[in-house]
A and B are shown apart, each in its own frame.
Chain A
């Protein structure tokens, strides 16, 4: 298979051996130091105008998500309407970045957001476990793309990664990227909670970027530990370094467990002070979340009116 890695790193993916040596040659991660840095950035005090800016920015970065077995077309349509117009009482609230649904709901979602800037993302590749033959995963992706998905969120084969079969994971990502064609951007989900160590998360990040990911994403939201400030900081360092080395820019998407405006703003501070301010745009940074949006909207209303309204003043979905 031909390598999609940027020219500067093209020989890295020549064989399992070169890929392993490259990934294991990346600088290590000191867990204590990483977490301390993430915590220290979390103490930035974001008030008044900066807070208003951050809240609107965060809303515009939300991938409004429903990934339940019980999803119905009605639920997806409601979600789409909310993504397009998050706050019916205040039309100045920005639209979210995307709605994220299972592949069978892509067509419905596409219809629901038609005419807006909202994209449709779909979790293909046998989400969330990823335990299916490659042919099935690719079919999953092709169906979603054919139904109009603008973005594909794929899960990597964590088993292969943990077994050290890096080239297998690489080739799978490359194949999925190819199946996305030119119309869909690819987000690669590592399920960081299952990768267990920060060193693994850094290696996975580079592996994903080498294989042609447009976005690297922390998690599915379906395991105990999802996005954390520390693992997101680590991935931001990875995209920053990848750009410095190759000139190629990759997006980052923390997903799962980000529920409050306060948390979301902390992530934006991480982006601002790690990858840099030009990542502060929904083309390069996303939040995978469902309940976050309502908290952002309530905080937004509070800033606008000076009063805290409560959950009955935002829509349930």
Chain B
């Protein structure tokens, strides 16, 4: 698994981008997106997924079930 950003909800505020310990978050057409191959769900770094904790719009950074579980977890 990895986190993903629901583009229709993202305000493009960029708050999540600098918080990601894996530099998985990038700008995409005015909103932001997560590279699933880089997202570690913040495992080993922080107790809470940083993108979820900082995002002002609840339900925007969510688990993407279509992606296999992060290896190290």
Question: Does B associate with A?
Answer: no
Q: Could you tell me which A residues sit within 8 Å of B by CB distance?
A: none
Q: Could you tell me which B residues sit within 8 Å of A by CB distance?
A: none
